[in-house]
Amino acid sequence: MYPLINRDNSCCFSGYRPEKLPWGTDESALRCVELKEKIILAVERLSLSGIRHFICGMARGSDTFFCEAVLSFRENHAGITVEAAVPYENHGSGWCDEDRGRYLLLLGQCDFVSYVSSDYSKYCMLRRNRYMVDNSSVLIAVFDGKPGGTKYTLGYAVKRGLEIIEIEP
């Protein structure tokens, strides 16, 4: 049975894709390993403060690290739920086999899947980000000032009054 899910006990996540991360796709790089540890610590701290529901945008890179961290944390902590906020129904279809396989594996482990748009459009990622923020009280952001979707999402979260946890990549 799932706990009552509401904005007050929900956290969303935004962060960079591999192209914007200093180590690219090399997840064995020390800075990547450290980032994953920081994400796990943030999830643990939020869980202790009452956050039970975690929403992930399911992009490559930081979103994947976040989803994996929460799913791993959930294994030993009852009452934790994970929601995949997918920007459109065929999201991931153009990715390489390895990334698509990882995405589909994570998607299958999530408690909830919310498709924000049925088809790709130039605004579907924006809609997904707004959906996550509108349904959360906390945003964890892997952010170092670069322009793009994470910067927009962070600004929107500030306007909506969310608690912000910034993690530098």
Per-residue confidence (pLDDT) for residue 72, from 0 to 100: 97
Could you read off the pLDDT of 108-129 as tens digits, one per residue? 999 999 999 999 999 999 999 9
Closest to 149 measured CA to CA, from 125, 169, 113, 166: 125
Domain boundaries, the chain: 7-167
In whole angstroms, how far apart are CA 166 and each of 15, 74, 78, 143?
10, 22, 26, 6
Give the pTM.
0.96
- CATH no. for 7-167: 3.40.50.450
Single-letter amino acid code for the residue at 68: E
For 22-56, how does the pLDDT look when each residue is reduced to its tens digit (9 = 90+)? 999 999 999 999 999 999 999 999 999 999 999 99
In terms of Cβ atoms closer than 10 Å to its own Cβ (0-12, 13-18, 19+), residue 40 is middle
